[in-house]
Amino acid sequence: MAPKYTVSYFPIKALAEPIRLLLSYGKIEFEDNRISSEEWPKYKDSMPMGQMPTLQIDDKVYYQSNAICRYLAKQMGLAGANDLEAMEIDIAVDSIHDFRLKVGPAHYETDETLKAKKYEELTAETIPFFLKKLEARAAANNGYMALGKLTWADFILTGIAGYLKLICHQDIFAENPNLKSVVDKVLALPAIEAWYAKSPKCDF
Amino acid sequence: MAPKYTVSYFPIKALAEPIRLLLSYGKIEFEDNRISSEEWPKYKDSMPMGQMPTLQIDDKVYYQSNAICRYLAKQMGLAGANDLEAMEIDIAVDSIHDFRLKVGPAHYETDETLKAKKYEELTAETIPFFLKKLEARAAANNGYMALGKLTWADFILTGIAGYLKLICHQDIFAENPNLKSVVDKVLALPAIEAWYAKSPKCDF
């Protein structure tokens, strides 16, 4: 019998969406377990690090979204042909997450004065810096994030694209055609089109 | 001719030390290029993402410390025997870095009032939470971070142990014997003893 896969996360895309996209790409059936913020306190203590997403495979619960994505990508031939290629993909993935981690704290800042100050710096420096670097990477890689071909780094960017727009307070793809091309190519994959035809709608 | 390896970083352990430890473990000679904070602005623009550490292998510069460590670990048989094992190690590594990323911003906070407030929460909740989880992981894995055996996750913890103590404002190993055992075992490896016999002294 095929193993049973369950993805648990909030009812948004964000960090779980790359996992859902990779499973969809690999035509692996999975339970899409969406836990609302209201229900979350009930479940938090049962999660290995008090966090989601998790991927349960039969009885075993795995966590850390990148670890899960890298594992799935290996099963699907999206993780590079050798160790050097795998490293190039990892570099791209971690650079995308660095961008997210630099901007995220401002989005969750509750002090409005501090928040405005943080976004002032982010909008003037950090966001343009990362977008320039990531756009250049996509341009140098034929509209992919690494190796000039489809890899799981493209699924990471596509999965968290809406979340990045949300926390950056801007359409990060508007002036970055090569980054946009990464996302467009993933979204045009038949298995991903099929996923979005049936999955709950959410912008981020 | 053997490839030439150069590690570039500030003159501290922190994120470069796991790379240096893995190279030492693999008996790979490398240039230990330490750039002071004063010199750093001169070099910043030449780094792929304006960041260090980097690992240069001959003419090619790689970045993102985890990507580099994972690559090196594969060459040294420290990255798991199969894809599921590799994922378990990645989960451990990312959990250690999550801890670092939760505490780090408080360490760099320049507003003293905000800093004190952040450390109040960290000391009461976040730091004990992560230490409990990581100690339990080490206990369940025979004094290693994953798989009950030596992997590159142990090199990550050992390399950033001093940095974690610095940013946590406490000896995180004092009451966590299994975590301490992870570090002790790595430090007792002959190749690592040899590295610390010759490398510049620094606590973090």
**CA neighbor of A15 nearest in space, from A128, A201, A194, A162:** A162
Residues 6+ apart with CB under 8 A from B136: none
Kindly report the nearest CA distance between residue A63 and chain B, in angstroms. 7
Exposed (0-12), middle (13-18) or buried (19+): which is A157, by Cβ within 10 Å? Answer: buried
| 3-state SS assignment for residue A34 | strand
Please tell me if residue B129 touches chain A, with a CB cutoff of 8 Å.
Answer: yes
Please tell me if residue B63 touches chain A, with a CB cutoff of 8 Å.
Answer: yes
pLDDT of residue A154: 98
Domains of chain A, residue spans: 5-77+190-198, 83-187
pLDDT of residue B1: 81
Supply the CATH classification number for the domain B5-77+190-198: 3.40.30.10
Please tell me if residue B94 touches chain A, with a CB cutoff of 8 Å.
Answer: yes
- By the 8 A CB rule, do A69 and A22 touch? yes
Token pair 């999660």 is at which residue?
Answer: A47
Which of chain A's residues have a Cβ under 8 Å away from the Cβ of B22? none
pLDDT in tens, chain B (204 residues): 889 999 999 999 999 999 999 999 999 999 999 999 999 999 999 999 999 999 999 999 999 999 999 999 999 999 999 999 999 999 999 999 999 999 999 999 999 999 999 999 999 999 999 999 999 999 999 999 999 999 999 999 999 999 999 999 999 999 999 999 999 999 999 999 999 999 999 999
**Rounded distance between C-alpha atoms, residue A78 and residue A73, angstroms:** 5
Nearest residue of chain A to residue B61 (CA atoms): A88
Exposed (0-12), middle (13-18) or buried (19+): which is A139, by Cβ within 10 Å? Answer: middle
Model pTM score: 0.98
Residue-wise pLDDT for B64-88, tens only, equals: 999 999 999 999 999 999 999 999 9
Which of chain A's residues have a Cβ under 8 Å away from the Cβ of B15? none
Nearest residue of chain B to residue A132 (CA atoms): B49
Nearest residue of chain B to residue A76 (CA atoms): B83
Please tell me if residue B133 touches chain A, with a CB cutoff of 8 Å.
Answer: yes
**Rounded distance between C-alpha atoms, residue A35 and residue A59, angstroms:** 19
pLDDT of residue B6: 98
Give the number of beta-carbon pairs within 8 Å between A and B.
68
The stretches in chain A having pLDDT less than 50 are none
Which of chain A's residues have a Cβ under 8 Å away from the Cβ of B49? 95, 98, 133
Which of chain B's residues have a Cβ under 8 Å away from the Cβ of A48? 133
Phi first, then psi: give them for residue B171, nearest 5 degrees: -80, 95
**Rounded distance between C-alpha atoms, residue B150 and residue B144, angstroms:** 6
Token pair 């298995």 is at which residue?
Answer: A191
Nearest residue of chain A to residue B114 (CA atoms): A114
Look up residue A18 and give its two tokens: 């790359």
Which of chain B's residues have a Cβ under 8 Å away from the Cβ of A101? 101
Please tell me if residue A58 touches chain B, with a CB cutoff of 8 Å.
Answer: no
**DSSP codes joined into one string, A55-123:** EEETTEEEE-HHHHHHHHHHHTT-S-SSHHHHHHHHHHHHHHHHHHHHHHHHHH---HHHHHHHHHHII
pLDDT of residue B203: 95
Class of domain A83-187: mainly alpha
| Residue A49 to residue B95, Cβ atoms within 8 A | yes
